[in-house]
Amino acid sequence: MRIVYQDTKKGVIEVVPETLDDLWHLSHIIEEGDLVSSLTSRRIQDSTGERLRSDRGIKKTFFMGVRVEEISFHKYTGKLRATGTIEQGPEDLVPLGSHHTLDLKLKNSVKIKKERWSKWNIKRLKDAMKASKKPSALIVAIEDDIADIGIIRQYGIDYVGPIMGSVSGKRIVQKNRKQAINDFFTELAETIKGFNDVQVIVLAGPGFTRGEFFEFLNQKYSDLAKISLLESTGAGGRAGIAEVLKKGLIEKMATEGRIAHEIRLVEDVLEEIGKSSKMVTYGKKEVKKAAQSGAIENLLVIDELVRERNIENLMDQVENMGGKVMIISSEHDGGKQLSALGGIAALLRYSLN
């Protein structure tokens, strides 16, 4: 994420999203009532009002601003859409006051005008800028002839796989088995190679397969081997990926480890709840009481609640009293567990009893 223009007096900030994570951040920064402007394309109509056929029409690209009524992020298609009424644009091409959906795209500037930029909005922008400078990571959990890949994002984990070979089976002869292993390893390596921005690869799993795959990379994909680390886990697949995250290995490598940290914080909350501890509380009403008492050490808030003004005030209160605030993504398992607790929870300095 890059900030290319900022005027705090007018409440305007213009940014350029550079990654899918940046679009995810913007989906939580842009709110209902904001004026959002970006490039859009429309096919013009002829003088009779008839829409020209695609092979004869003229498609024009220009800046358009909409007063946002709805914002939606589609991580699987990589699209961020802002829907609302048109307030800015060339009047000869677009009727002001009509509805339009802006597709906010990577590498295109997005201008956001707010009545008020909260410090949490600004913090999120700064976090996105810092994160863009960090290396990204993959976790490859491999067991026998099955592998799953976890792509570490700021909003959670994208999974690829399973990638399956045909190594197992009693009927396969030794010569064919070696070829099957080579084919499986080649397919897996080519899949990994397709992620061009990866800086760190964690090869995880039980048994010897991860080591054999590492040796294969050394021989045939030395560029991937140079950025690969081996980590033993009790299971392969997504369970193995989760185990790596829980160990904190990603954070130690200074990669995009926010998700790992978030998951562990939620697990700390669940562990305290499981022990019937008095050092944890959850739900808006109970957390508010704890904040008023200055008892909160760590406040966990699901990202979907941050837009609410009373939650924002609560977050400010906790920080002013020396507590830490962590906004948890709703896209990963930890976020879903926090949502089940009402979307907000707190680890306490002392019991409120």
Domain layout of the chain by residue ranges:
2-131, 136-256, 260-348
Angle (CA) 87-89-93 rounded to 5° is: 120
At 217 the pLDDT is 93
At 172 the pLDDT is 52
Asked if the domains at 2-131 and 136-256 fall in one CATH topology, the answer is no
pLDDT tens track for 154-167: 667 888 889 988 76
At 170 the pLDDT is 45
Q: Please state the pTM of the whole predicted model.
A: 0.58
The rounded mean pLDDT for the chain is: 84
- Residues with Cβ < 8 Å from 311, sequence gap 6 or more? 284, 301, 305, 344
pLDDT tens track for 282-293: 999 999 999 999
Cβ neighbourhood burial of 42 (10 Å; 0-12, 13-18, 19+): middle
At 329 the pLDDT is 85
Residue 353 has pLDDT above 90, yes or no: no
Is the domain 260-348 a CATH 3.20.190.10 member?
Answer: no
Torsion sign over Cα 105, 160, 221, 248: positive
Type of residue at 83: T
**Number of C-alpha atoms within 13 angstroms, CB side, residue 14?**
13
**In CATH, which superfamily holds the domain spanning 136-256?**
eRF1 domain 2 (3.30.420.60)
pLDDT tens track for 115-127: 889 888 888 888 7
Give the range with max mean pLDDT: 153-162, 271-280, 328-337: 271-280
Is the domain 2-131 a CATH 2.30.30.870 member?
Answer: yes
Residue 255 has pLDDT above 90, yes or no: no
At 254 the pLDDT is 46
pLDDT tens track for 298-333: 999 998 888 787 888 899 899 889 999 988 988 788
